[in-house]
Structure 1
Amino acid sequence: MARRFAISPHEYISFQKYVNHSIRKKLPGLTYVNGFHSEMQNSRKVTHLINFCVNNNLDFLIFDHYAHGLSSGSFTDVFNVTIGRMYNDLCNIMKHETTNSQILVGSSMGFWLSLLVALKGEEQLKNRITGIIGIAPAINFTENILKEAKEKGLFLDESNTSPDSFYHRQSKYSPTGTYPISFHFLQEARNHLLDLKNIRNKIKFPIVLLHGKLDPDISYEETLKLASALKSDFVDNVKTILIHNGDHRLSKEQDLKILDKEIIQMIGRFNK
């Protein structure tokens, strides 16, 4: 059952949590970070991971971003629907709803948010991250959307564009056929862009990147560049898996089996 984490008197993040009460040695928990316009309800990956964690005695945390799913907020509230807001919400819910080490599983935008915690979060949070698994990672994706909007004649004069101007982007994942994306969302995201030239050797814990070669939204070549940028000169910390017939969501049974295997291997490294 979904619970509410209060952000302010009138705002909350909806979340679900499974806590392992086993007397066995405490293992890392999993925090799953959804992508943009993705929700925890009716998600095949979320349902699968809940069952996986229950069967393997692992803590599990999943939540809806602000203005997503069961959480408060609306996409018309343009000054609150931002990468910065979602990053801060992730930090807060990790801080208050998890206690042990965590493996972050970030899907699409969720991987970007997870990396922000690892690179820019408070020390107490960074030190509790055991590893990160990225599913079709989409760091800095807002720059691609801004470029796309401009090609369609929108936001051409950035200095004179109203923050609440919207680009209604076509998407096969939306029940209405489009997703509203505000100019302010794209502009604010620039405060959180990651420079691939400056993140080498910044992360030493294991990172696994899963990407489908048939992904129509984010090119797998971008993940190969990201993997190279994240590598450490001191430890073998990055693993990339390209799934031949995988799409962006990677929620087919064979995709989820690969995810399970990588989580188990990451936990095994924690126990060494």
Structure 2
Amino acid sequence: MPEQAMTEYLETAQGRRIAYARQPGAGPGVVFLGGFKSDMRGTKAEHLADWAAANGRAYLRLDYSGHGESGGAFEDGAIGDWAEDAMAAITGLTAGPQVLVGSSMGGWIALLVAREMPARVAGLVGIAAAPDFTENGFWSGFTEEQRATLMDAGRVALPSEYDDAPYVITRRLIEDGRNRLVLDRPLALPFPVRLLQGTADADVPVDWAMRLLDHPESPDLRLTLVKGADHRFSTPDCLSLIETAITEVLRGRT
């Protein structure tokens, strides 16, 4: 197993201190974009670090502000901030087009990056991609009491099955998310796209994946459904499918 990449830091134009780990290799490089409240040392990110090293592929992963080893408080952040963090890292730390691998919220971030800087995207792999989830997941699932609390107090706490601490959802997160929606307007993805989705995912429903399959304009977009896979998508078989998806995107680009 290769030695773990050292954490480095990038100061963004917005004044945020972003932690990242970078491995040299051939291009197009691979950029891993993690999920909501996750970090760059998770199972999928680490597995892809090993895969990239074994294949001589350049690889970048990062913690958005308020996540992992980056500066800032999680509750202060929003989708637009985290997309800016990703774009700053891609612009400043990579060369040429990159294959974006977005997990859960990272799938939304990847789509925002693709919309804003398509020339820097060679392809996209979405793992339980969750575009627009602040609106279609959180807001639509809130009770009237939760909505009132959010608007009046500016935040509401939700239980998390992944952490002992609750998720604090802020009014800013919801309102900023409405300004970053990608499924409410045309979405051009002029490169190979692979979407991976588990049927037992309790956080991202299969019909979200179907909507994402149908919505964009792309010359090569495919969805793979894995029966019984959950939101983590981190079993050995699922990790192998992620490798295959990246390989297909790289092959399709050439």
TM-score, length of structure 2 as denominator length: 0.92
Asked whether the 8 Å contact 1:196–1:226 carries over to 2, the reply is no
2:100 & 2:249 partners in 1: Cα distance?
11
1:205 & 1:220 partners in 2: Cα distance?
23
SS of residue paired to 2:52: helix
> After TM superposition, where is structure 1 displaced by more than 6 Å over at least 4 residues in a row?
none
Q: Deviations over 1:143-188 (max 9, x none)?
A: 1202223x16122387x624xx222111111133x21111111111
1:261 & 1:195 partners in 2: Cα distance?
26
1:208 & 1:9 partners in 2: Cα distance?
32
2:123 & 2:73 partners in 1: Cα distance?
32
TM-score, length of structure 1 as denominator length: 0.86
Quote the residue 1:61 is aligned against.
60
Asked whether the 8 Å contact 1:30–1:60 carries over to 2, the reply is yes
Residue identity over aligned pairs, in percent, reads: 27
Q: Deviations over 1:20-75 (max 9, x none)?
A: 1xxxxx4310000011101112x111110000000001000000011001000013
**Aligned ranges 1:39-188 → 2 under 5 Å:** 39-41=39-41, 43-76=42-75, 78=76, 81-119=77-115, 121=116, 125-143=117-135, 144-149=137-142, 151=143, 153-156=145-148, 161-162=152-153, 165-176=154-165, 178-188=166-176
SS of residue paired to 1:192: coil
1:196 & 1:209 partners in 2: Cα distance?
19
Gaps of 5+ in 1: 21-25
Aligned residues: 248
Q: Deviations over 1:196-244 (max 9, x none)?
A: 4522xx2221111100000001101111111011244xx3x11000001
Larger radius of gyration: 1
1:265 & 1:114 partners in 2: Cα distance?
18
Q: 2:64 corresponds to which letter in structure 1?
A: H
Asked whether the 8 Å contact 1:107–1:134 carries over to 2, the reply is yes
1:195 Cα shift? Answer: 3.1
SS of residue paired to 1:28: strand
1:221–1:82 Cα change, 3 Å? same
Q: 1:192 corresponds to which letter in structure 2?
A: R
2:59 & 2:74 partners in 1: Cα distance?
27
**Aligned ranges 1:179-258 → 2 under 5 Å:** 179-196=167-184, 198-199=186-187, 202-232=188-218, 235=219, 237-258=220-241
